[in-house]
């Protein structure tokens, strides 16, 4: 049931772009995206509910494909503050599952 994320880890220089993918073998009811900085709690970024939906704010956006089996998070012109572990999440009824996580490190 746990969505699989790729890549597992990525290192970027400031200003570079990144894409994080979240995939499931079954259609997802919804997709949440969270960022967790070291030693802190996960923080909600955005939720996508509909197939084909795209959403974003500032330089972070996400898409949900038509079949609702894959979502991608796009980070544009990365900043040092973007460093952390990114998790997608899905809520199939009576549970909430996080994806496997992607560690993102932005270096100067």
Partner 1 sequence: DARVTQTPRHKVTEMGQEVTMRCQPILGHNTVFWYRQTMMQGLELLAYFRNRAPLDDSGMPKDRFSAEMPDATLATLKIQPSEPRDSAVYFCASGNLQWGAGGYTFGSGTRLTVV
Which residues of the shown chain bind partner 1 in the complex (CB under 8 A)?
A: 32, 34, 40-47, 49, 87, 89, 91, 94-98, 100-101
As given in the structure block, the two tokens for residue 52 are: 């084909």
In this complex, which beta carbon is closest to partner 1, that of residue 7 or of residue 15?
7
In this complex, which beta carbon is closest to partner 1, that of residue 44 or of residue 77?
44
CA distance 108 to 30: 35
In this complex, which beta carbon is closest to partner 1, that of residue 19 or of residue 47?
47
Q: What is the smallest separation between the CB atom of 13 and partner 1, expressed in angstroms? A: 27
Task: Calculate the alpha carbon distances from 21 to 40, 51, 71, 108 in Å.
Answer: 23, 15, 6, 24
């Amino acid at each position: 049931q746990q969505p699989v994320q790729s890549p597992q880890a990525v290192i970027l220089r400031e200003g570079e772009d990144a894409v994080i993918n979240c995939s499931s073998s079954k259609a997802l009811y919804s997709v949440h995206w969270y960022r967790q900085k070291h030693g802190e709690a996960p923080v909600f970024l955005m939720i996508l509910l509909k197939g084909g939906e795209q959403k974003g704010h500032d330089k972070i956006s996400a898409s949900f494909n038509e079949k609702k089996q894959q979502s991608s998070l796009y980070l544009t012109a990365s900043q040092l503050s973007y460093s952390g572990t990114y998790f997608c999440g899905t809520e199939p009824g009576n549970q909430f599952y996080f994806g496997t996580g992607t560690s993102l490190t932005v270096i100067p």
